[in-house]
Structure 1
Amino acid sequence: MTTDKPYLTGHYTPAVDEITATELTVEGSLPPELTGRLLRNGHNPKPGVTPTHWFKGSGMVHGIRLRDGRAEWYRNRWVHTPALDGAPYMTEHGPDLTASAAGTHVIEHAGRLLALCEANLPFELTPELDTVGAHDFDGKLRGAMTAHPKTDPVTGELHFFGSSPFPPHLMYYVAGADGHITHSAEVPGASAALKHDFAITRHYVVFIEGSVTFDPAEHSGIPYGWNDAQPARIGVMPRGPRGAGLIRWFDIEPGNMLHAANAYEDALGRIVLEGPTVDREGFRLSWNWWVGAPGRGTEPNTRSYNRRWVVDLAAGRVDEQIIDDLAIEFPTLNEEFLGSEHRYQYAISFPDHNGQGGYGIVKYDRATGARDVHEAGDARLPGEAVFVPAAGATREDDGYLLTVVSDLKQDTSQLLVLDASGLDRIATVHLPRRVTAGIHGSWIPDSDLDSDLDSGLDGSAG
């Protein structure tokens, strides 16, 4: 494919086929508790297809199966939605929620693997990454679902939302640990602002509306753009059946946050929220890269800096500040601390708009303010670093970070397993192809899947 679209070149050059490889080469020693699958989703249009926006590319899930210190297989599969075969999202009857790119995230809940894209229904996959079909929670999900649901580590509930540029702008859902929706509500006061991610605490749901909102004049296929007149706000809603009617909205500084690191209630009862954000120029640079516009930045995320908001519910005030000057994205943490105060969080670093810095895996110690970086190396782009707790962990950072690295110079990829406490490399799994740089993924332990994991499909079957 000959193209000047940055999201189809370099690290983002799409894979052209689906393959399966077994008995992968491992350097170092894989911890035995890493028994499961690392799954990672991303946009990967079929050969000959040039989407008008990076986010429009069809989803492809890459999987790496680890067991008993071995890397048993790698496989990649397109998510076979109607959109993969060219079905349009907008029809004469309105949007087709099954015509999904399904390329943003892949999660597990209640034994189901779900490929997600925020404008559509989720798509269920088998443990071998074959597509089952659209999943609507037994008909209780009638609109879109965010690509960033949150699993409460205490209750096992899945919290998620659906947003729309048209009323109702925001719907909130809770699915029980058994996978059935137990609660849904329209959230009042929401606007047409882009809502890509959100957060939960022990007692609240936290929504974020930035300065990016619905723009019908945007013709890239993703109808959103920066609008100086769009108020940036944080919405704090009590959890529970009557919470929607009690939501409070707080104005914040203009900006846009795609991904929340975490939120929690501090000792004073304030809501603390963190995540990387961009200003107007940062959004312009990233958007131009995403659509391949003239004057695009050399990288997305070049002005994306970690920010902290402290919402004082009693005083009705929000204090906020940028807490680091390193360009980062894709924040992660030990998800056993999701919704609670955490000490450590992780991210991926990028060169900034001045060309300073580079690719790496970042660890923040929020207690000391320390920042450590595992530098990925020249022309090596790591993906989102997924935290996996160690067996018998006693500290928050007892565990491993799993990241898939795209190596342009060698035209290869590896799965790196890092010690989450010191960022030292523990093991490298050599993959059979260079994996297209993507977006989000999950570690799925075998115990979370209701399937015959010892079937022949875990071997050499394609």
Structure 2
Amino acid sequence: MTSKPYLTGHFTPLTEEVTAIDLTIEGSLPPELTGRLLRNGHNPKPGVTPTHWFKGSGMVHGIRLREGRAEWYRNRWVHTPALDGAPYMTEQGPDLTASAAGTHIIEHGGRLLALCESNLPFELTPELETVGAHDFDGRLRTAMTAHPKEDPLTGELHFFGSSPFPPYLMYYVADAKGVVVHSAEVPGATASLKHDFALTRRHVVFIEGNVTFDPDNHSGIPYSWSDRQPARIGVMPRGTDGTQYVRWFSIEPGNMLHVSNAYEDGQGRIVLEGPTVDREGFRLSWNWWAGAPGRGSEPAARSYTRRWVVDLADGSVDEQIIDDLAVEFPTINEQYLGAESRYQYAISFPDEKGLGSYGVVKYDRTTGARRIHQVGDARMPSEAVFVPAASASGEDDGYLLTVVSDLKQDASQLLVLDASGLDRIATVHLPHRVTAGVHGSWIPDSDLENSEG
């Protein structure tokens, strides 16, 4: 019996790949939900016990919806060299293809890409079979973040590659067809762990927290909290010459994994929001991820939403915690990425004392209201993906899709919620309990040129 928390409970790995068709539906699926919900997560093969949750091999789960039907579910490992035991470090240096590929999956330029921030992306077919590593025709020669940002106005994909060694931070832009049209080193960056970043209409925003490269950490992910590592926000104008004008602003100690959103307000200030942890919160989370003593019962037990307001004119940063609920996996209506959004969504977690519960959270940033859809006892929802309604007239006119792990029933369901009120619209029953995972995307059929499956 393993003592690793990331191999037990909601995180117990699946042992086989399954395909199921004609799934049972309770309620009525909106016919406009025609596409695929794809979700990635760490799922080591049977007999493999990774030293860190992040090192578990990626498994992608797909649910195919079409015109009111749930046509299929399938789960597939991403077949990278690491799945068969190939090491990341070799005599020639890092093998960027030896990837867990278990953090995220996106579509861009008609390609499905499974992502892990220390490696190259891996392309999958619409039926989730592995095509192979994708290096953007040789123009990507570093790792790629698992959190690229697609500009909703231009279709460009903005992303970065970070490294514990120089160059610490590379910035890339791919056009709407998936061709890298710009790359540059970002000056002034450090070896701080950079998991996510933000894109506004006029700026690229990088976040460096107190978690940085530590060669003495032997969990398999060589990063640790350091009080000597300054916490900073880097602001860079968009455009091919933006790296000449990047500015770094000191902030309070902490670490952010995921950005909710960022934008320029009416005064030209940059507003950045997202869940963050302090030193103790990071210790509890990291110990959980690494299966070390002193871990908390939940990996996000002290993760609270924080807001930074960066005044570019006077060089100041105002920051505050704006909510006392432990949350992670923030999402928005992606049509508002980089612009001021009224609504944000997240997943709530029990806090460090075990108080609270799992749920889907909706924030109204205008009124300050917070609403929670409780999913039930021993049930854990995945990141809630927003899908706009076909004839949407408002920002929250659409649906939230989340996959729930149910320990009591040893089962999982796809919940379709009304994003405006968080009421349940439909439940799709899946053929087995889906391992709690990380990030995913809704891929409408129109985004895949050869979507026949």
- Point out the more displaced range, 100-109 or 351-360: 351-360
Equivalent-residue separation in structure 1 for 2:142 and 2:390 (angstroms): 39
Matched with 1:387 is: 386
Equivalent-residue separation in structure 2 for 1:294 and 1:238 (angstroms): 43
Instruction: Please give the per-residue CA displacement for 1:239-281, whole angstroms capped at 9, x wherever unaligned.
Output: 0000001000000000000000000000000000000000000
Give the 5 Å matches for 1:251-330.
251-330=250-329
**Within the alignment, does 1:415 sit opposite 2:421 as a pair?**
no
Give the 5 Å matches for 1:63-462.
63-453=62-452, 458=453
Matched with 1:15 is: 14
- Give 1:452 deviation, angstroms: 4.3
- Give 1:436 deviation, angstroms: 0.1
Give 1:186's aligned amino acid: E
Instruction: Please give the per-residue CA displacement for 1:147-186, whole angstroms capped at 9, x wherever unaligned.
Output: 0000000000000000000000000000000110000000
Residues 40 and 437 of structure 2 are in contact (CA less than 8 Å); yes or no, is this contact kept in structure 1? yes
Give 2:178's aligned amino acid: G
Give 1:60's aligned amino acid: M
Equivalent-residue separation in structure 2 for 1:102 and 1:208 (angstroms): 23
SS of the aligned residue for 1:213 comes to strand
Equivalent-residue separation in structure 1 for 2:61 and 2:371 (angstroms): 28
Give 2:7's aligned amino acid: L
- Give 1:450 deviation, angstroms: 1.5
Matched with 2:3 is: 4
Give 1:334's aligned amino acid: N
| Equivalent pairs, count | 453
SS of the aligned residue for 1:24 comes to coil
- Point out the more displaced range, 293-302 or 147-156: 293-302
Instruction: Please give the per-residue CA displacement for 1:362-392, whole angstroms capped at 9, x wherever unaligned.
Output: 0000000000000111000000000000011
Query: Structure 1 unaligned runs (5+)?
Result: none
Equivalent-residue separation in structure 1 for 2:37 and 2:188 (angstroms): 38
Instruction: Please give the per-residue CA displacement for 1:378-429, whole angstroms capped at 9, x wherever unaligned.
Output: 0000000000000110100000000000000000000000000000000000
Give 2:218's aligned amino acid: H
SS of the aligned residue for 1:423 comes to coil
Structure 1 outlier segments of 4+, above 2 Å? none
Residues 126 and 451 of structure 2 are in contact (CA less than 8 Å); yes or no, is this contact kept in structure 1? no
Equivalent-residue separation in structure 2 for 1:67 and 1:397 (angstroms): 22
SS of the aligned residue for 2:22 comes to strand
Equivalent-residue separation in structure 2 for 1:228 and 1:247 (angstroms): 24
Equivalent-residue separation in structure 2 for 1:361 and 1:134 (angstroms): 34
- Point out the more displaced range, 289-298 or 416-425: 289-298
Give 1:136's aligned amino acid: D
Residues 445 and 451 of structure 2 are in contact (CA less than 8 Å); yes or no, is this contact kept in structure 1? no
Equivalent-residue separation in structure 2 for 1:187 and 1:452 (angstroms): 38
Equivalent-residue separation in structure 2 for 1:363 and 1:443 (angstroms): 19
Give 2:120's aligned amino acid: L
SS of the aligned residue for 2:216 comes to coil
Give 2:205's aligned amino acid: V
- Point out the more displaced range, 190-199 or 288-297: 288-297
Equivalent-residue separation in structure 2 for 1:83 and 1:437 (angstroms): 21
Equivalent-residue separation in structure 2 for 1:272 and 1:91 (angstroms): 42
Equivalent-residue separation in structure 2 for 1:64 and 1:290 (angstroms): 27
Matched with 1:44 is: 43
Equivalent-residue separation in structure 1 for 2:38 and 2:438 (angstroms): 11
Give 1:425's aligned amino acid: R
SS of the aligned residue for 1:84 comes to helix
- Give 1:294 deviation, angstroms: 1.1
- Give 1:197 deviation, angstroms: 0.1
Equivalent-residue separation in structure 1 for 2:337 and 2:63 (angstroms): 25
Matched with 1:58 is: 57
Equivalent-residue separation in structure 2 for 1:25 and 1:367 (angstroms): 39
Equivalent-residue separation in structure 2 for 1:199 and 1:295 (angstroms): 32
Equivalent-residue separation in structure 2 for 1:33 and 1:185 (angstroms): 40
Give 1:335's aligned amino acid: E
Equivalent-residue separation in structure 1 for 2:370 and 2:377 (angstroms): 21
Equivalent-residue separation in structure 1 for 2:244 and 2:60 (angstroms): 38
SS of the aligned residue for 1:286 comes to helix
SS of the aligned residue for 1:108 comes to strand
Query: Structure 2 unaligned runs (5+)?
Result: none
SS of the aligned residue for 2:283 comes to helix
Give 2:39's aligned amino acid: R
Equivalent-residue separation in structure 2 for 1:175 and 1:225 (angstroms): 32
- Give 1:16 deviation, angstroms: 0.1
Equivalent-residue separation in structure 2 for 1:57 and 1:245 (angstroms): 38
SS of the aligned residue for 1:162 comes to strand
Residues 102 and 116 of structure 2 are in contact (CA less than 8 Å); yes or no, is this contact kept in structure 1? yes
